[in-house]
Structure formats: structure tokens, C-alpha cells
Amino acid sequence: MRQQGDFLQVLQEQGYAMDNLFPSTNGNGVSRHAEVTTGTTVFAMKYADGVLVAGDRRATAGNVVMYDRTDKVLEIDRFSVMAIAGVPATAFEMARVLEHSFKYYRRSQLQDMSFEGKLRALSTLLKNNAPAALAGTGTVVPVFAGYDRLEECGKIFFYDILGAEFEAVEYAVSGSGSTTIRGILYYMNRWGNDPVAQMNEENALTFVLRLMTSAAEFDSATGGVDAQAQLYPIIKRVSAEGVRTIPAERLKTLFSEKVLT
């Protein structure tokens, strides 16, 4: 019989006790999930000039907003980016390990690590983190995007909590707001007049801001855009020129002219 649903649902259908894997309380009767700060909504999508990787700024612990200026789109080296959804403490440590590993390889071998090597390195970190992920204290579900200079194209990969790796053809989404964003992306690519992969940079950036605003409307853990506080999603472009962060001033202009109107 074909199993459907996410990883936790499959475990439950196979008879695993979720209360044992994810205890709802600690010894003092306090919810463990409420004690762990988590990141929320990130995604990557291909467009005409490369790949855009975006993440909202909110970090939550249960129903409490812990921080509204989190950077969930982390530049690992000049051609690769990891966007994190899950526990920031674990994800930031993974990013630091990857950054140092790529840098050490480049200096010792006098060349950049291959794109495949980068993917294996992240997969290994996630496999090693499996016990913490299954305990509910260190879950990280990243999206990895980079420019493969051998094949001369941008690529997007997403992972499950055990390190399984999947290549995304056009986009990948992770986090609590992913359902809304994935649905809109599917609709646009299937029936939209302007498929995402054919958008120019201005239209693609406008679309990213609209996606994040839509996710925030239906998911309280997604920060969205707060123009009054000058808070905009972190958006990075990955192309043959390397990784470039889109300036907040440009996002402010696009948001006021093409999202609010």
C-alpha cells in the first residue's frame, strides 16, 4: 500500500509512538517544543537569470515570537547558499561547519569543492543530526541552492530530516508557511501567463515579496513584510556571478510600488 503524507505521518502509520519520539512535556510538565526556538519559511526558485533564495525573518518558540530579524538564508561560499527551516542553533552550526569545510578544501586542494561534494557534505551533517531531529530538539529541513560551474546552471536541492537529498526542477519550499507558497508556485507554473522560470529579475523579486506576504497572512509563524519597521525578507541571488544579496532598499521600493498597490 502506497504511503502518503510527510515523514512523521509515515512513521505514525507504521506504528511508531509519536509520544516516545517527540515527548510533549519534560519532567516538569513544560512543553519541550515551546522551549526550542525555530525558524519558519524559506524557499528557492529558478527564474530567467538564476536562482532566488528567500527567507522570512521571524524565529518562534511555540506561540512566542523570539526574534524578528533572523537571517535564515546563509551564504556558505561564493556559489552556494543554504536556507534553513527548523532550529536555528543547529542550522547555524551546520552552516559554520560547511563554510569551514569548503574553505579548507579550497585552500588545501587549490580548487573549489565540486557541487556534488557540497551536497554530500550537507547530507552527512543531516544524517549525523538524526538523533536530535527525532528527539524534536534539533530538527533542520534546509534548502540548498548553488551554481554548478561544471554544468553552468543554477540548481536547487531540498532534504528531509534524515539527510535524504532531492533535486527540485523549478522550486523548493520548507517551513511552516510552505503549503501556501508551494500552492501558489504550482498554480503559476501550471496555469500562469508568466511561468516563474521565465520571469526577469524585477518581476521575480516582486513575486517573492507577494509569496512571503501571502504566507504570513495564513501562517502566524511567518514574519512576512513589516514596512513600518523596515523588515523585509532576506533574498539572495545565485548565478554565474556568484551569490549576491538583494539590498533592502530595492525590496522597499518594489514592495511599495508593486505589492501594496
* Tens digit of each residue's pLDDT (9 = 90 or more) over 128-163: 999 999 888 889 999 999 999 999 999 999 999 999
- Does residue 40 carry a catalytic annotation? yes
Q: pLDDT at position 12, please?
A: 61
Q: pLDDT at position 61, please?
A: 84
Is the pLDDT confidence value at 253 over 90?
yes
* Tens digit of each residue's pLDDT (9 = 90 or more) over 4-53: 445 555 556 665 554 544 444 444 343 444 446 666 899 999 999 999 99
* Candidates 25, 37, 38, 40; catalytic one: 40
Percent of the chain residues past pLDDT 70, beyond the cut = 85
Whole-number CA gyration radius for the chain: 18
Q: pLDDT at position 45, please?
A: 98
Q: What is the mean pLDDT of residues 197-202?
A: 96
Nearest residue to 234 via CA among 41, 91, 38, 47:
41
Give yes or no for a contact between 81 and 243, defined as CB atoms under 8 angstroms apart.
Answer: yes
Q: Report which DSSP code applies to 38.
A: B
CA triple 159-165-171, angle to 5 deg = 65
Q: pLDDT at position 135, please?
A: 87
165 to 135, 185, 205: CA distances (angstroms): 21, 21, 27
Cα(253)–Cα(215) distance, rounded to whole angstroms? 20
Cα(56)–Cα(224) distance, rounded to whole angstroms? 6
| Number of neighbours of residue 141 by Cβ within 10 angstroms | 21
Q: What is the mean pLDDT of residues 215-237?
A: 94
Q: pLDDT at position 37, please?
A: 65
Provide the grid cell at 232.
523585509
37-259: CATH number: 3.60.20.10
**Residues in a beta bridge with 146:** 80, 155
Give yes or no for a contact between 261 and 106, defined as CB atoms under 8 angstroms apart.
Answer: no
Domain boundaries, the chain: 37-259
Q: Which of 84-93, 198-207, 218-227 has the highest mean pLDDT?
A: 198-207
The bridge status of strand 171-174 relative to strand 42-47 is antiparallel
How does the average pLDDT of the chain come out, rounded? 88
